[in-house]
Amino acid sequence: MLFDTKEEFEKEFKARAVEKYGRDPKDIDQTEIYDILGTMVRDYMTIDAKASKDKVKEAKAKQLVYFSMEFLIGKLLVANMVNLGIYDLVKDGFNEMGLDLENAVKQETDAGEGNGGLGRLAACFMDSIASLGYPGHGNCIRYDYGFFRQRIRNGRQEEIPDQWLLNGNVWEIRKPKHAVVVKFYGNAETYVDKDGLLRRRTVNAINIIAIPCDVGIIGYRNNVCNTLRLWTAEPSAEEIPADTSFNDYLTFVRDLTHGLYPDDTTEQGKMLRLRQQYFLVSAGLQSTIRAHLHHNKNLDNLPERYVFQLNDTHPILAIPELMRLLMDEHDYSWDDAYAICQKTFAFTNHTVMPEALEKWPVNYVATLCPRVYMIIEEINRRLLIKLHQTNVPQSIIDNSIIIKDGMIRMCQLAINVCFSVNGVAALHTKILESQTFADLYKLYPEKFNNKTNGITHRRWFLVSNPKLSSYVSSLIGEDWIKEPVEGLKGLLKYQDDPKAASAFNDIKRENKLVLAQYIKEHNDLEVDPDSIFDSQIKRLHAYKRQLMNVFRIIYYYKKLKAEPNFKLPKHTYIFGAKAAPAYVYAKKIIELILAVADKVNNDPYVSKFMKVVFIENYGVSSAQIIIPATDVSEQISTAGKEASGTSNMKMMMNGAMTLGTLDGANVEISQLVGKDNIVIFGLNAEQADKLRFNGSYSPWDIYNSYAPAKIAIDSLIDGTFDRDNERFRMIYDEVMERNDEYFILKDFQAYLEASSEMDKLYMDRLGWGKKCLINVAESGYFSSDRTIDEYNRDIWHLKKVI
């Protein structure tokens, strides 16, 4: 161990301060203190990493490689110290040296490796995989500037670079000796090998060096340390193709890791996204093959040693790329290579939204990676033959083939080849099987399974909410930290204890004071900690219906102004959301939220009853302040559109009540806590589908018959929130002229009634505390530990290395 005692820690810290900065700890800057502490914790973890690798090697253990374009890991310092069991030791050592640990922790920036739920889920999975003792590693791109940093200026979202790497990344270890070469463009050349067999290879390609930067992922007090491998791009010393200039080549290299999710409204942006996806999977697979061959004579047993989980559609090019590597680089036949792919790849689908089911124009893939396209084409050709030979109806064939209408359908590629296809909530998986991929489900029913998402309770409860998690431990002990599903249920024996209910309420108020201070510092707005903190924090998308929430606030504003006798319980409405830079409609909704906030917060009368807060640059760190302080969790997406959601789980685990539709994991939350401990409203998925398909719905019917809907809609164009009546015309048109695709007006009355019901529940303070306790008690099911155990039981079949 690097240090076992407070004294050893102090000695090592002081030595490093002198060695690196030439000063004593009391004389160096906070950023330098953070740098020294972070590298010490990283080195502490690296010792466990070696031991974990040795155990895997000795046991010849199967390993997971988890491909994802996002890993939203947030800040790691506190979580890593807690998982290592050294947090108190370090804190005591800092106190002895006269240093402030809290200030050092504040120097860390959120890693720019993700945007929303997809990336946060992947990060939670990495924590649980390590904490459960499984050998599993992530693969992602090391983005130079992340997604973007959101700045609110003049009532609008602006995007600026997320300079998360400005001061370096203490957690990564750059490993150039493990670099691989990724080839783009060029052409596939046929040749005869030494045995007289016909082979193919890629020639005249643009070569890029992919260098791994490894970040340790430490398990909770079990000495297991896995790896999150982040790939960065560097120029190759190989000759540049004659038709490519040196400057164009350097731009090509730089763009590969410049940022997450380039603008895909342009052809250039789409091609860059495709290049990023291919760069990631080619680098990750080459690295895995090299590691495998270091201990095995060939790749015949690759499925016994590795399983590749494809997190959503972005990494699906890994399938034809592995085929290419096996056939072109390692001389496998088509049949043998395909058999290996069928045994090693598993696919997680995260959406039923048509625009998110990736399709690539044939010419894009054929141009960027011609050999890979040849392989996709051949997979498709053989699939067609097989389906025709087995007399599959043409309608099913049309929905199942990979290439159609000049487009490569990535989900069809994955489902036809992978041995497992899973959804991420019970309702989501049902929709995949019955609607989205109904014909593929008929062909491969054995492949489909559900794995309801989860969150790491260590990050989102133990670390994020120390007051409440400590109180929970005082009641039921600490077994819940390692056994959350059954452990947290121990709280249920206190559900009728008024002392416990009061304690839950008191701790919630303390957390609300912390958030209120954050809002004062960042928004220059004072909010009442005794008001109801009502939060909707998630990526801005029309189906998530932040707009319906805003319409509710608008209606209350108008009603307070028009009716002196109307009294609303005090509310603080909290929003946190980023809109994709090219998603103009979502950015317009943010504009509306900000305009409404400005109007409400500056109204001397209305602001007595409610405040509206928009948290700028919402991310993991701000979420760790908002979630423990939230009373009401807004989960109001259109039923059937949200795959799962994870903010619903985080808020539930921190003692918030869910106000939501029967969508995503809300269905399972309602089943666990019971109808008395959640407020559900609105259309269910079947009802929404029926309205959508029979064409019987018109928002004008609601507008003309339900006054609150008319009030909210009219405010968009009557000058209420801007002198320019046309400023929010886009939103008006989207709802009224494009038939309210996400049924905002249809569900609006039910939403207002549910909001009123929630307000009444909140007024019964002991009853509310009991409901919050029950939500926490049942939240263990949504720990990612449970999810990972299910993945492993049904898909991965890894053995623990503890």
Q: Alpha carbon 420 to chain centroid distance?
A: 21
Enter the tokens of residue 457: 């309770």
Q: Alpha carbon 103 to chain centroid distance?
A: 28
Enter the tokens of residue 777: 């008690």
> What three-state secondary structure class fits 52?
helix
Which of 55, 481, 3, 49 lies closest to 224 in space, CA to CA? 49
Which of 407, 387, 416, 398 lies closest to 319 in space, CA to CA? 416
In degrees and rounded to multiples of 5, residue 63 shows phi and psi of: -125, 150
Distances (CA, A) of 731 to 92, 152, 575, 713, 716: 55, 20, 18, 9, 8
- Per annotation, catalytic residue among 348, 436, 646, 720: 646
Gap between the Cα atoms of 669 and 675, Å rounded: 10
Gap between the Cα atoms of 698 and 605, Å rounded: 36
CA distance from start to end of the chain: 17
The residue type of 63 is Q
The residue type of 295 is H
Q: Is the separation of the CB atoms in 798 and 792 below 8 Å? A: yes
- Per annotation, catalytic residue among 120, 149, 314, 350: 350
Q: At what angle do helices 77-84 and 30-59 cross, to 10 degrees?
A: 50
Reply yes or no on whether 314 is catalytic: no
Reply yes or no on whether 520 is catalytic: no
Residues in CB range of 562: below 8 A, 6 or more apart? none
Reply yes or no on whether 650 is catalytic: yes
- Per annotation, catalytic residue among 324, 447, 541, 544: 544
Q: Are strands 403-404 and 448-450 parallel, antiparallel or unpaired?
A: unpaired
Reply yes or no on whether 541 is catalytic: no
- Per annotation, catalytic residue among 458, 538, 599, 786: 538
SS3 labels along 524-577: CCCCCCCCEEEEEECCCCHHHCHHHHHHHHHHHHHHHHHCCCCCCCCEEEEEEC
Gap between the Cα atoms of 788 and 602, Å rounded: 48
Gap between the Cα atoms of 522 and 709, Å rounded: 33
Catalytic residues: 350, 538-539, 544, 646, 650
